[in-house]
Structure 1
Amino acid sequence: MADTSGTRRERRATQRAERQERERAEAAKARQRRRLFQLGGAAALAAAIIVVIVIATGGGDSGPTRRAGESVAGANDTAALLAGIPQRGAELGDPRAPVTLIEFGDLQCPYCKDASDSALPSIIENYVRDGRVKLVFRDVAFLGTDSTRAAQMAAAAGQQNKLWDFVHLFYTNQGAENTGYVTDDFLREIGGGVRGLDVQRAFDDRASPEVQRAITDAQTEWQGYGLSGTPSFVVGRTGGTLEAVNTDQGVTFETLSEPIDRLLNER
């Protein structure tokens, strides 16, 4: 019988080596541009937690160019990245995975997009797909109305176990911050690019108590860890205490994989 575990390890090692050089450059670039988004006091926090459904019109950034035969830019890549990986609500991966990694993000945040584009696909392929890490997304949605509208739709997609598809595809098509581009038409287009998502049901679920609670709980949990910027990550043994990941040097595959490897090696 072939040693498939050895082959898998070799494949992961090759994938990691190929990405390291590119990610070093990404880290240097991220150090120059990464900023911390700060809440402007209790009033701003209260406003961020309120879930408001706004019927908006108008365009904004049209997003990346679609490839031929692709309904929404990045739809095919998103489907391929997440294919076969179990989802449950905001969780991606085996619920029994020994390590849990939580991302706190805002779908309008350009630095969250950077992490989604560069670092997280490698984490998914190297750790989530084989069942060693469970990824959880917490949408803190504090940058404005566009953030809240996006978070509502993401949480509604999560009720159909399609949150990670929606989030990844949204980041791929992210527009300019607070330009009003997150309209119903835009959300319908992104939702339509998620395979298996009932878009109308997601629209109907946006005002549900479950959706509002998901956004409010994300804010509470984010602050509970003493975090104030996005993207932020915490990691730890599943069911145990999670600690913040140091991303002062940027969010790269290495900055996320190092604490994961340390935890896995403790087994």
Structure 2
Amino acid sequence: MSSSSSRPSRKPLLYAAGVALAAVTLGVVSWQATAPDGRPADGSGAAGASATAPSAPASDPVAGLKALARRDAGDKLAVGRPDAPVVLIEYSDFKCGYCGKFARDTEPGLVEKYVADGTLRIEWRNFPIFGAESEAAAKAAWAAGRQDRFTAFHEAAYAEGSKEKGFAEARLLELAREAGVPDLERFAKDLAGAEAAAALAKDREEGYRIGVTSTPSFLVNGRPLAGAQPTAAFTDAITRAKAEAEAAAGARK
């Protein structure tokens, strides 16, 4: 999406006060690197009875957001050690041009430098905000992940010129083949299944709950970072977060 995107969609923060305070205090609601003209037509992302807030106290909003890191060894939408000192959470949309720029220009270097040495874990959250094709691509990425091909699908879908081809059903199958998904019949079934819809809803609800209204948006150990910024912004944030984590670990000894 170009930088000429119109004003962002706003989602009511009808959740626990601690999360609302975290969003306001840290400026999460102002994440506007790129934003949609309106909310998803189906109303996805609205507050629901099942939504829950992080358990951290409202007086410590960074800790509340940091607690969103799942650190699940079985998470198919993550790379890096579950016990890495720094977790970068990325809320992104496959139709978002800035998300693609980050995926091509910045993310590979972070993986090579920080994931490889155990410093960083990256957890992706599907946050589709540009309509039905965004949602379909998010579900397809999840389905590819079921066969351990999420990273390859992610790379293919964010390749230069990919989003201009759209994400209709035939295109998603083409991307799955390109990503090396071994069982395309299972991929198609998973893509259309209830589990994919539930996983998408979980990620999107989390984003809306903390005030995310645009993509790409990031949390680095609970500290927001907006947009496809220069690599230096991410390396600085990771270095700081690692130092804080090491200091906290030392204090506990």
TM class by shorter-chain length? 0.5 to 0.7
8 Å Cα contact 2:126-2:200 kept in structure 1: yes
Structure 1 residue 34: Cα displacement = 7.6
Which of 201, 210, 232 is the equivalent residue of 1:254?
A: 232
Structure 1 residue 183: Cα displacement = 2.0
1:174 paired with 2:158, answer no
Letter of the 1:263 partner, please give it.
A
Cα distance change on mapping 1:197 and 1:225 into 2, 3 Å: farther
**1:196 and 1:38 mapped to 2: Cα distance?**
35
- Spell out structure 1 runs of 4+ moving beyond 4 A: 34-37, 40-43
**Structure 2 counterparts to residues 188-267 of structure 1, below 5 A:** 188-195=173-180, 197-236=182-221, 242-247=222-227, 250-266=228-244, 267=246
Structure 1 residue 223: Cα displacement = 1.6
Cα distance change on mapping 1:201 and 1:125 into 2, 3 Å: same
Cα distance change on mapping 1:40 and 1:88 into 2, 3 Å: closer
**Structure 2 counterparts to residues 1-267 of structure 1, below 5 A:** 33=3, 38-39=8-9, 44-45=39-40, 47=42, 49=44, 88-172=75-159, 173-176=161-164, 181-195=166-180, 197-236=182-221, 242-247=222-227, 250-266=228-244, 267=246
Deviation readout 1:42-91 (Å, 9 max, x if unpaired): 783462639xxxxxxxxxxxxxxxxxxxxxxxxxxxxxxxxxxx983111
**1:257 and 1:101 mapped to 2: Cα distance?**
11
Deviation readout 1:204-245 (Å, 9 max, x if unpaired): 111222211111111111122222110000011xxxxx2212
Calculate the TM-score normalised by the size of structure 1: 0.64
**1:210 and 1:36 mapped to 2: Cα distance?**
33
8 Å Cα contact 1:34-1:111 kept in structure 2: no
Equivalenced residue count is: 192
Identity %: 26
**1:170 and 1:190 mapped to 2: Cα distance?**
7
Structure 1 residue 197: Cα displacement = 3.8
**2:74 and 2:90 mapped to 1: Cα distance?**
15
8 Å Cα contact 1:87-1:161 kept in structure 2: no
**1:229 and 1:256 mapped to 2: Cα distance?**
18
8 Å Cα contact 1:37-1:230 kept in structure 2: no
**1:109 and 1:48 mapped to 2: Cα distance?**
20
**2:200 and 2:7 mapped to 1: Cα distance?**
17
Cα distance change on mapping 1:163 and 1:49 into 2, 3 Å: farther
Structure 1 residue 193: Cα displacement = 1.4
